Structure 1
Amino acid sequence: MDGSPQSHVQPDDPTLLVFEYVQHLALAIAALSPGPLGVTHVGGAGLTLPRWVEATRPGSPQIVLEPDAALTELVRREIPLPRRHRIRVRPVDGLTGVRALKPGSADVVATDAYAAGRVPAELAGTAYAHEVARVLRPDGVALWNLADEPGLRWVARVVATVASTLPHVALIATHEVLKGRRFGNSVLVAGASPLPVEALRRDVARAHLPTGLREGVALTRFLAGARPFGVTGEPSPPPPEAGRWRVR
């Protein structure tokens, strides 16, 4: 999509996740209590993560908010969903779709939506964060897939914005991204209740790619000076040209 690889689906093995940020989203969900989960996905694309949830937590009711109806039709035709799934796709944008959901209706809200290679501004502001918090159950977890330049200053502002509503936060990314060596993706994990930090640490340590977890004091230091966005945020920085993602 928009000139960049956007989804990878392994039809005969939905547990095979190729993109690093999808692995990190799954890692955060895997740290939650066993059993089916009510999951809302903001951004659908190839439905990779919903397929993974269905495979690892059968019977989970899932809502996917994907405004590109033509893309959804293509995906359904070329890569059909498994039989007896409980995945429902709604052709609406994230903010509109989340506003229409009932309070306390989701265990997980996973935001992975891009337009022209950038996270839309409205998914980084306080209005969206408040709606996500409203939809989450008291012990629910919200996830954001965020792309940023080395230094992660835009990510820091999003984390600061979300933390004003969901005060328990953590950040997962490869060591290269956390150390500022390349443009890349980070996964923000947030909740109104304490996060399963020990499980996250354990699973991060076992990740296929060298991956780090920032939380507690380390994350507080990272956020120093980060100014939260207002009602509407700002879009993520544009991705660099091909071959220029690494800075050193």
Structure 2
Amino acid sequence: MTEEPVPVTRAVDFGTAKLLPDVDRARAWLLTVDDAPQSYVDLDDPEHLEFEYTRRIAHVLESAFDTPVHAVHLGGGALTLPRRLALTRPGSRQWVVEADRGLAALVAEHLPLSDPDITVHTTDARAWLAAAPDASADVIVADVFHGSRVPAHLTSVEFLREAVRVLRPGGVYVANIADGAPFAFLGSQLGTVRAGFGQSADLCLLAEPGVLRGRRFGNAVLAAARRPLPLDALARSCAGDAFPARVVTGTALAALTRAPVHDATATASPVPPDGAFTVG
């Protein structure tokens, strides 16, 4: 008789982590830190993405590249996107940077990963980028949250310039941003990414209409590249989701954009309102 999976709770570097089994999927787990959802992974079906924002990040990566990539994931969680990309773009070389050593150890113990082309580094994301070679990555995914907030030192123009340096020509930067109306943080991040990439770069934002209209706090996925982004393919993919998203570009994106932030003025992302992402 197969034993039922049981929840795991452990103190990690930046809070209390929990692994909660999904009663509907035999080997699927939700990872939370201080009750804020961080990752969802199905070990039997790594291509399954439960969170809408992770599907949108995958849409960007898989629309922009149809061959293996060198990908950097800033923020590890349960390694959801690296596991998927290893299947959808086989042969990809991936580096995962996770600052929380305790969290990385928990995931390695309970959600093991055997792919030799995925390497996990337990260090600060910005410090890792600063040491990375120029033009060494096709993709950088920024999804770093300490609890439910993006650390301030990962929100500045100086940080973005390091990311641009590490990207190859034609490389794509993707960031998960959580905010709500009046979108002060989201607007500053649009301005910061624009300043880091330059005015000629292509930018877009993927988000649900309810978030964009200010009806609720939520996630928006920002993509940037010094080449045209595959906007038509992204629009089709986002429209086909269970919770459809809009692809925002041009004047609508410019209307959201605010002044960039630098190290001296950078702040962490806003505290989500009660109940925005918390699970029981």
Task: Return the TM-score normalized by structure 2.
Answer: 0.83
**Equivalent in the alignment of 2:247:** 213
Equivalent position SS for 1:17: coil
The structure 1 residue matched to 2:178, chosen from 147, 156, 159, is 147
1:5 partner SS: strand
Match of 1:194 among 228, 237, 247: 228
| Unpaired runs of at least 5, structure 1 | none
> In terms of Rg, which structure is larger?
2
1:181 aligns with 2:215: yes
Maintained 8 Å contact 2:74/2:141: yes
Q: Deviations over 1:114-165 (max 9, x none)?
A: 1131011111101110000001111010011011122322101111111012
> 2:158, 2:196 within 8 Å by CA — same for their partners in 1?
no
Deviating beyond 2 angstroms after TM superposition, the runs of 4 or more aligned structure 1 residues are none
Distance 1:170 1:192, change over 3 A: same
Q: Once superposed, what is the RMSD of the aligned Cα atoms?
A: 1.6
2:189 corresponds in structure 1 to 158
User: Do the aligned partners of 2:178 and 2:217 also contact (CA within 8 Å) in 1?
Assistant: yes
1:107 alignment partner in structure 2: 138
- Cα distance in 1 for partners of 2:62, 2:242 equals 15
Matches within 5 A, 1:1-150: 1-81=33-113, 83-150=114-181
Asked which structure has the greater RCO (Cα within 8 Å, sep 6+), the reply is 1
C-alpha separation between the residues in 1 aligned to 2:104 and 2:277?
Answer: 31
**Contact 1:111–1:145 under 8 Å retained in 2:** yes
Mapped contact 1:59–1:85 kept (Cα < 8 A): no
Corresponding letter in the other structure for 1:188:
L
Q: Hey, what's the Cα distance between the residues in 1 that align with 2:270 and 2:77? A: 21
Length-normalised TM-score, structure 1: 0.93
Distance 2:271 2:166 in 1: 30
Aligned-pair identity in percent equals: 38
Displacement, 1:244?
A: 9.3
| Deviation sequence 1:27-65 (CA, Å, 0-9, x none) | 111111311111000000100111011111111100011
Mapping 1:164-175, distance limit 5 Å: 164-166=195-197, 167-175=201-209
Q: In the TM superposition, what whole-angstrom CA distance separates every residue of 1:204-248 from its partner, at most 9, and x where no partner exists?
A: 22222121110112211222xx11111352211001112699xxx
Aligned-partner Cα distance in 2 for 1:67–1:231: 19
- Contact kept, 8 Å, 2:49 with 2:55, in 1: the verdict is yes
* SS of 1:40 mapped into structure 2: strand
How has the CA–CA distance of structure 1 residues 243 and 202 changed in structure 2, closer, same or farther, with 3 Å as cutoff?
closer
Distance (whole Å) between structure 2 residues aligned to residue 102 and residue 244 of structure 1: 36
Would you tell me which structure has more strand in proportion to its own residues?
A: 2
Gaps of 5+ in 2: 1-32
CA contact (8 A) 1:54 1:85 kept: no
Q: Secondary structure at the match of 2:108?
A: helix
Look up the match of 2:270.
237
Structure 2: distance between partners of 1:141 and 1:132? 10
